[in-house]
Amino acid sequence: MGTFKGWVIDKGEAGQSLAFRDFDDADLMEGDVTVRVTHSTLNYKDGLALTGTSPVVRRFPMIPGIDFSGIVEASDHPDYKPGDAVVLTGWGVGETHLGAYAERARVKGDWLVPLPEGLTAEQAMAIGTAGYTAMLSRMALDAHGLTPAQGPAIVTGASGGVGSVAVALLARAGWHVIASTGRDGEADYLKGLGAAEILDRAELSKPGKPLGKERWAAGIDAVGSTTLANVLAQTRSDGAVAACGLAQGMDLPTSVAPFILRGVSLLGINSVTTPQPKRREAWTRLARELDLDTLARMTSRVRLEEVGRLGPEILAGRIRGRTVVEVG
């Protein structure tokens, strides 16, 4: 027994507070695998947790951080032994279960996946929850039977984490990718990831018509709200849009027109509780299909001590691509 360093969110009468401090091993929550965390990342949901902007943290004290990679220190789970390299995303870690922004984590072995062959622990977290969600979205479009031959694909929130990986994955698979962004300065960045066209997000963020010109066959939407409504209204007949995010808002002010007049499908993506077989398939495909040089181009690094100040930055849309948090 001992202590380890981590970020801790507490809640008192004055509201939520965040501190980098020692945490006692004995206060770790129940779980059959203890992991020495080597890397974590910064996702939009981490921004919500760190700032308390929305009630994603439902237990106090809480160690935030929704994903990690690391090395198993101790295990009572049949699939894992000390020394194994593992990855975790989702399952309420950093929300209801003590999370990733610390040197140690104790979780259920059933939540883990082995570090996919071909990826380092750092690359796995460069992908992180955001990249894994982009792959789940891509898989949903594939399962719908969509191919690049049917027309372009739009990605919204393209300069963010989910968006950057989605652009890279779709472009590598041969899609003509239209990257929607609010950042003028990121056109070269997005083209470097494989985007064929850049669309000013202002074109999509205001209320539009129930149906518009058919511009794309597929979409990955990290933004929600009127943006998703406009994406649906401009999707070609029998196309589909994977909805995974809410960066603009949780609302969806749409009509049934795209669904009943064009046969458009809205595919929901929830990365948190994805069952193991699909989870492992997504990671295997990420290791195989995501170009690692492209991944490196969208990734920056911070030390664990620095992550506490980045919550407001990601919520304000000022973080480009993916951010790896170096822990150990």
3-state helix, strand, coil in the chain (%, to 5): 35, 30, 35
Total residues contacting ligand NDP by CB under 6 A comes to 33
- From the list 65, 157, 258, 311, which residue makes contact with ligand NDP (rule: CB under 6 A)? 157
- From the list 227, 234, 254, 265, which residue makes contact with ligand NDP (rule: CB under 6 A)? 227
Peptide bond into 61 cis (omega under 30): yes
CB of 226 to ligand NDP, least distance (A): 9
- 222 part of the interface to ligand NDP, by CB under 6 A: yes
The stretch near ligand NDP (CB under 6 A) out of 74-82, 91-99, 155-163, 297-305 is: 155-163
- 247 part of the interface to ligand NDP, by CB under 6 A: yes
CB of 105 to ligand NDP, least distance (A): 19
Q: Which of 240, 296, 245 is nearest to 263 (CA)?
A: 240
Q: Pick between residue 75 and residue 180 the one whose CB is nearest to ligand NDP.
A: 180
Backbone angles phi, psi at 319, to 5 degrees: -100, 125
Q: Which residue is nearest to ligand NDP (CB)?
A: 160
Element (H, E) at 189: helix 187-193
Q: Pick between residue 80 and residue 101 the one whose CB is nearest to ligand NDP.
A: 101
The stretch near ligand NDP (CB under 6 A) out of 39-47, 67-75, 117-125, 256-264 is: 39-47
Strand, coil or helix: 206 = coil
Sign of the torsion angle spanned by Cα atoms 273, 275, 276, 281:
negative
d(CA 184, CA 165): 19
- 239 part of the interface to ligand NDP, by CB under 6 A: no
Q: Residue 214: exposed, middle, or buried by beta-carbon count in 10 A (0-12, 13-18, 19+)? A: middle
Binding residues for ligand NDP, rule: CB under 6 A, are: 43-45, 129-130, 133, 157-163, 181-183, 201, 205, 222-223, 227, 244-248, 269-272, 314, 317, 319
